[in-house]
Structure 1
Amino acid sequence: MSNGDLNWIANFIWGIADDVLRDLYVRGKYRDVILPMTVLRRLDAVLEPTKQAVLDMKVSLDKAKIVHQDQALRQAAGQAFYNTSKFTLKDLKARSSQQQLRADFEAYLDGFSPNVQDILEKFEFRNQIPRLSKADALGTLINKFLSPDINLSPNPVKNNDGSMKHPGLDNHAMGTVFEELVRRFNEENNEEAGEHWTPRDAVKLMARLIFLPIADQIQSGTYLLYDGACGTGGMLTVAEETLQQLAAEHRKKVATHLYGQEINAETYAIAKADLLLKGEGDAADNIVGGPEYSTLANDAFRSREFDFMLSNPPYGKSWKSDLERLGGKEGIKDPRFMIQHAGEAEYSLITRSSDGQMLFLANMLSKMKHKTKLGSRIAEVHNGSSLFTGDAGQGESNIRRWIIENDWLEAIVALPLNMFYNTGIATYIWVLTNRKPAHRQGKVQLIDATQWFKPLRKNLGKKNCELSDEDIRRICDTFIDFKESEQSKIFPNEAFGYWKVTVERPLRLRVDLDPKSLSAFRAACVDEDEEPLANVVERVAASLGPGPHLSFNTFMEAVEADANEHGVKLTAARKKLLKDRLAKRDEKAAEIIGKTYKPGKVKPDPLRGLFEATVDGKPCVVEYEPDTELRDTEQIPLLEEGGIAAFIRREVLPHVPDAWYVPESVKTGYEISFTRYFYKPQPLRSLEAIRADILALEKETEGLLGEIIGGSGR
């Protein structure tokens, strides 16, 4: 059947909505009736030849008191679904009473197999029946779908003379018609479309990016495909078609099994219905969904591994409720998100609760095959935040680090702006595999495809462009060629990594013991009920003098001696009070010594905060107390020549010679900046061009001021 014929059928069904539902539903709600009715009419037509066999089998099973009847009834129907009611839609066509029609139609729906019941429940189709019946529209709707002008049956319809009136509609053609209806409804409701439906051009590109590189390695056999946010199932079906086509071109026979999970009830129903309509009953059983089936909180395929995975997860969407169901940030133990990596037994991939998109990628990575020749290949759509959000040690950065250090990331493709229906933001396709070819190992390719697109003649929501077949071919050729160009950059894995290092400077405090300072300190001690400490300080002041004293260590030694002599215990709280209320920061003051070590026990290393000093006349190695107000961090590239030490010497010490870094603070992070790698500065305008513009403006405004002033006197 030609595409023109299929479009005619889709147009006919589309017209039913206008004919029957126009005054009954707002346009955006037509889908609530038309999509499930299309499914019902197709299933009804497919089941007609075996209707009596199913009824007979039902009687036999009931008579034998067999409880589990599903498989037997499927066999009797010759399909992955069945209907045990005594009605077909044609039987209902003759009902003159709306009340009787409603009762019989509900009985007809109740007769369907559990998988179809699931679809009807998720469509919430039964909720539409009272409204349709009350408006006397249910019978009209059924009659329209049974019109002799259209054939939704797999069997051909002939004229009285035996000539062909309507060819049969095979499963693939029916699936195409249904997908076309879904596409039109999504475009009608374009404000919602992007949540559940990825544009077909983007899906075609994703499928080619995962299959083309290994097309000549595909062997005859069975392959499993998975989408953890499958929406209406379009990615899975396009990927399946692409794999089948490439396999056929290489004279291979492959069987495919589709698996998907979707939280939105209606789109899950569409995905499952589409597969049933295409005759893929087993695949339909492998689509799981509804509000209770969040992929993050309730993984439906925990023990499965897949050959190929594609997804467009929700981005910028909170997953806080899923996080709570998983035990909260501190209690989560899910092995998809708490893993072992880089020597850490509990390496956390948990992202911010405000955006869970990267966790969908972690979920797919947990399902890779590691013992097969091809391993697994993945393509997933993300927005720009997945490239750089999350500091070193945080979930998003940890996921990027885990991926890149395992050498799974092949490429990231920047897509044109305004390609999706409900957003104009930048989007990217991540391409991953655990079987990189030798020439890609240790490297990542970035492709800037933002300028490769074809404008749409009419905007669909915010979507104003699409990828033509030529654009898709160009992107795939760039990916497979793996060469440097203006749009293709290739980097070693380490180019995206960095060390986040804490840089410290010593705390330098001076102490003033003049009458004004002592009075203020006593007042603070009264407030804190610490008068004994004030007495100690006043005695020390009498001994040392008013100051200023530039060695806080010397001052504290005098305080400790006096406190011991007078039985005053120097608690941590009292020491803090001395620092907070009596001491003041001063760059000219001496460093405050924290720990001391004997020479030889610890080697001095000023870069790491271990300095040579003399204490009580003896040489030793000391650690200075850091000033938290001067604490800073540096982001140092992993490819920095000489590493952290060389960077500190070159970039930090010339400005603050007393600085050091804390080795224990070092964290490794990863981020990817397309802007940095593909930035093209705009050339500055010449002075001549600027001067010409100024002269032109002066000429345009010549005499304008005079007119304004002259006009004000009128």
Structure 2
Amino acid sequence: MHTSSHNKLVSFIWSIADDCLRDVYVRGKYRDVILPMVVLRRLDALLEPTKEAVLEELAFQRDEAKFTEWDENGLRQASNYVFYNTSKWTLQMLHDTATNSQQILQANFEDYLNGFSANVKEIIDKFKLRSQVRHMATKDVLLDVLEKFTSPYINLTPYEKEDPDGRKLPGLTNLGMGYVFEELIRKFNEENNEEAGEHFTPREVIDLMTHIIFDPIKDNLPPVMTIYDPACGSGGMLTESQNFIKDEEGVIKALGDVYLFGKEINDETYAICKSDMMIKGNDPANIRVGSTLSTDEFAGTTFDFMLSNPPYGKSWSSEQKYIKDGKDVIDPRFKIQLKNYWGVEEDADATPRSSDGQLLFLMEMVSKMKPLSQSASGSRIASVHNGSSLFTGDAGGGESNIRRHIIENDWLEAIIQMPNNLFYNTGITTYIWILSNNKADQRKGKVQLIDAGQLYRKLRKNLGNKNCEFAPEHIDEIVKVYTEMQAMESHGEQQIAAQVFDNEDFGYYKVTIERPKRLKAQFTPERIETLRYDKSLQEPMQYAFETFGESVYSNIKQHEKELLEWCEKNDLNLSSANKKKLLKQETWNKHANLVRWASDMEKLFFGDTLFTNYNDFEKEVSDALKGKKEVSASDKKAILNAVSWYDADAKKVIKKKERLTGDKLQKLLHHLGCKEDQLADFGYFPTEKKGEYIIYETESDLRDTENIPLKENIHEYFLKEVKPHVDEAWINLDNTKIGYEISFNKYFYKHTPLRSIEEVTADIMELERQSDGLIAEILNLS
């Protein structure tokens, strides 16, 4: 369909809303009528030519064959579609036989709706069309709306026809219908102050994706193909993929059948998608409604091709219970195993943060790739994402683990950066991820990044946030760069850049760098007093003690009401567990005992002594508490923590001393991958005794991490970048994690030198010359 015809049709349909629904619906609710009526008229117009054949088949089944249940196959053959209508009505007949009675028209209309096959009835139910028909009849506008949609000046059929004035009305193809649907969605959403084009992927983006996915194997396509979109919206990705492989003009690119599968959570767009599948002759049962993340609708099924533009920046908190049980992943689609630093495979979390579930859709597609044992060509995936999928998430986190899982399995072929403002509902930069589990030889172990962010042409009129588009020549250029796996820099009129990397270039070790704990210690009344309160209940306990005095140690319950009112007044918002703990007599008695024991030690043993060697201090405290069975290990630890603090001038705190000789030493050296004289760099510090090593306590506040590229040696990096600055630091290899991230800015950023002072000065002088006398003129001084 030509753009001008498409725009006229959209304007005509929009005018129906303004002419008939203005006083019946608020503008934001026009879509509740217009969208289902467009779908209904589309289906109705297709069934009109075979109406008599369907009624004849119905009469045959009823009168001659004496069927007690309709033979659906016979009715479908009669209608020439996978849907049919057994009522005597068409929309045109409803209009032509209508009287002034809206009630009769409503009854006939409902009889017409009830005559549809079950697959169309589901669409009608998803649109809630019956309630809209009743509402329009009540408001006396049903006939007006029907008149508009049966107008001879509007053509929703796939066939060209003439209007009453002899003008040609081009047929509305499935592709044209997709444009109309999505343009109406965009307009309705804008009227309702919602995100424009919420379900719409620009057609040129789909065109690019289909070229990238199908062109590399166009001469070796599977004999029967399956295509899947886990967030199919109104079905644009699916139908365009099918059109690309086997177009409507009869030019066969694929000899075998093409089967489309999809899932959509929104009832309205699901109904649109399903109707389009039926019109095109696809099996509508392959389109499912519901949350892709909550339910694995196609469990056990794999697909040849998958294309999708999943929602990004959308929370999946409400679906978490279907995917995770606490920290454990229970859905096999998101269960993966990754090797730790030592090469041992471990279960890993493959779920992103709950505020953005777009990578879950990518994992859904990855889980449905065909293994090469099933298909020689494997599976190919194209998925649109925003920038967060490239770099959010730390090493060991869900997002990073997903990237690592994909890259280390060598499934990522390329990522294409697209221009800003290319989509209707967002101006942000977007990216197409291209995956395959059957890479060409030259792509194995490699990832291609293509920066097409400056490759576009401007639109004459913005559509939502969309102010630019890919021209056909831009798509050809991107496909050429991808196909030839070129590396190039952008310069002059060259608006596209590309680079090729090894898979490992995107990986890094997140290495923990430790420093020793150094503590001073001293018993003072102020430090001892901190033991009186639980750290999590500091404020309410301090208030209670200062307000009620010693009575809190005999009966805290008598102060319950006043204490809880004070907490509420001061917005402390205590959890039920903390409320219970606060009002528990044992809590108060425990902290009173801690204060008493610490005070006793201050008086009897230590006085004002300041210890700069915590190791000696801890031994003396332990000796002082010998025989006091009522003082537990946790009580002792609480007392020690209360009266000690970090000081860089204090001695290092020894955790333990360890003997390392013989096989034990050799195993450790092999484990760490170092020599004996390098053990201090890994936290084993030799003493004067041969074979004895000190392991120090670590200071968590001074703990740091270093991100070290996978291609670099951790120890060499440490000696070069860390040791010269912090001599007492060491590497904690056991905490090493592996992460992956991809930064387009890092690889494609071009520094623009600052202008010279002479150029800037000249510009300032020119501006002063141009504005000379302007102030005087404004103030009427000239």
Instruction: Tell me the TM-score range normalised by the shorter chain.
Output: 0.7 to 0.9
Shift, 1:619, TM fit = 5.9
Determine the structure 2 residue equivalent to 1:444. Answer: 447
The 2-side partners of 1:519 and 1:4 are apart by: 86
Shift, 1:24, TM fit = 4.1
Shift, 1:652, TM fit = 1.2
Alignment partner of 1:648 is 2:710: no
The 1-side partners of 2:150 and 2:302 are apart by: 43
Q: Deviations over 1:397-441 (max 9, x none)?
A: 110000000011111111100111111111111111111111111
The 1-side partners of 2:638 and 2:413 are apart by: 57
Change (3 A) 1:549 1:330: closer
* Of 592-601 and 462-471, the range deviating more from structure 2: 592-601
Q: Deviations over 1:65-116 (max 9, x none)?
A: 34x7544543454431122223333432212122111101101101111100
Say if 1:390 and 1:397, in contact at 8 Å, map to a contact too: yes
Alignment partner of 1:596 is 2:691: no
Change (3 A) 1:662 1:99: same
Of the candidates 698, 723, 730, which is equivalent to residue 660 of structure 1? 730
Change (3 A) 1:624 1:181: same
Q: Which structure 1 residue ranges, 5 or more long, are not aligned?
A: none
1:222-241 equivalence runs, <5 A: 222-241=224-243
Determine the structure 2 residue equivalent to 1:123. Answer: 127
Change (3 A) 1:256 1:50: same
Of the candidates 402, 405, 409, which is equivalent to residue 408 of structure 2? 405
Alignment partner of 1:453 is 2:456: yes
The 1-side partners of 2:315 and 2:739 are apart by: 23
TM-score by length of 1: 0.87
Shift, 1:469, TM fit = 0.6
| Superposed CA RMSD | 3.4
Say if 2:182 and 2:197, in contact at 8 Å, map to a contact too: no
Determine the structure 2 residue equivalent to 1:297. Answer: 294
1:229-268 equivalence runs, <5 A: 229-244=231-246, 252-268=254-270
Shift, 1:484, TM fit = 1.3
Determine the structure 1 residue equivalent to 2:552. Answer: none
The 2-side partners of 1:598 and 1:670 are apart by: 38
Say if 1:151 and 1:166, in contact at 8 Å, map to a contact too: no
1:166-205 equivalence runs, <5 A: 173-188=172-187, 189-190=189-190, 191-205=194-208
- The number of residue pairs the alignment matches comes to 686
Alignment partner of 1:359 is 2:360: yes
Say if 1:54 and 1:77, in contact at 8 Å, map to a contact too: no
Say if 1:53 and 1:77, in contact at 8 Å, map to a contact too: no
Say if 1:388 and 1:671, in contact at 8 Å, map to a contact too: yes
Change (3 A) 1:107 1:511: same
Q: Which structure 2 residue ranges, 5 or more long, are not aligned?
A: 490-496, 533-590, 669-675
1:460-499 equivalence runs, <5 A: 460-486=463-489, 487-499=497-509
**Secondary structure at 2:259 match in 1:** strand
The 2-side partners of 1:6 and 1:423 are apart by: 24
Of the candidates 327, 332, 338, which is equivalent to residue 330 of structure 1? 327
**Secondary structure at 1:412 match in 2:** strand
Shift, 1:638, TM fit = 0.8
**Secondary structure at 1:192 match in 2:** coil
Q: Deviations over 1:579-630 (max 9, x none)?
A: 323323222222111122113144661122111125xx78611210111111
**Secondary structure at 1:662 match in 2:** strand
Change (3 A) 1:570 1:174: same
The 1-side partners of 2:198 and 2:160 are apart by: 38
Change (3 A) 1:316 1:328: farther
Change (3 A) 1:130 1:215: same
Say if 2:6 and 2:179, in contact at 8 Å, map to a contact too: no
Determine the structure 1 residue equivalent to 2:593. Answer: 529
1:301-700 equivalence runs, <5 A: 301-342=298-339, 343-370=344-371, 371=373, 372-486=375-489, 487-512=497-522, 517-520=523-526, 528-530=592-594, 531-536=596-601, 540-541=605-606, 548-564=610-626, 567=628, 571-600=632-661, 601-602=664-665, 605-614=679-688, 620-640=692-712, 643-696=713-766
Change (3 A) 1:9 1:277: farther
**Secondary structure at 1:436 match in 2:** coil
Amino acid at match of 1:477: K
* Of 244-253 and 575-584, the range deviating more from structure 2: 244-253
Q: Deviations over 1:666-704 (max 9, x none)?
A: 111111111111111121111211332444566678899
The 2-side partners of 1:345 and 1:416 are apart by: 39
The 1-side partners of 2:83 and 2:248 are apart by: 31
Shift, 1:482, TM fit = 0.9
* Of 427-436 and 209-218, the range deviating more from structure 2: 209-218
Change (3 A) 1:147 1:537: closer
Amino acid at match of 2:238: L
Change (3 A) 1:252 1:226: closer
Amino acid at match of 1:426: T
**Secondary structure at 1:316 match in 2:** coil
Shift, 1:308, TM fit = 0.7
The 2-side partners of 1:380 and 1:61 are apart by: 54
The 2-side partners of 1:552 and 1:166 are apart by: 95
**Secondary structure at 2:198 match in 1:** helix
Shift, 1:335, TM fit = 0.5
Identity of aligned residues (%): 45
**Secondary structure at 1:260 match in 2:** strand
Change (3 A) 1:246 1:488: farther
Shift, 1:539, TM fit = 5.0
Shift, 1:631, TM fit = 1.1
The 2-side partners of 1:35 and 1:633 are apart by: 55
Shift, 1:42, TM fit = 3.8
The 2-side partners of 1:159 and 1:664 are apart by: 78
Alignment partner of 1:112 is 2:116: yes
Say if 1:329 and 1:350, in contact at 8 Å, map to a contact too: no
Change (3 A) 1:36 1:156: same
Amino acid at match of 1:676: K
Shift, 1:299, TM fit = 2.3
The 2-side partners of 1:699 and 1:10 are apart by: 53
Say if 2:313 and 2:356, in contact at 8 Å, map to a contact too: yes
Change (3 A) 1:707 1:577: farther
The 2-side partners of 1:310 and 1:166 are apart by: 36
Change (3 A) 1:257 1:524: closer
**Secondary structure at 2:395 match in 1:** coil
Amino acid at match of 1:124: K
Shift, 1:663, TM fit = 1.7
Change (3 A) 1:552 1:709: farther
* Of 195-204 and 91-100, the range deviating more from structure 2: 91-100
Change (3 A) 1:58 1:119: farther
Shift, 1:31, TM fit = 3.8
Say if 2:528 and 2:643, in contact at 8 Å, map to a contact too: no
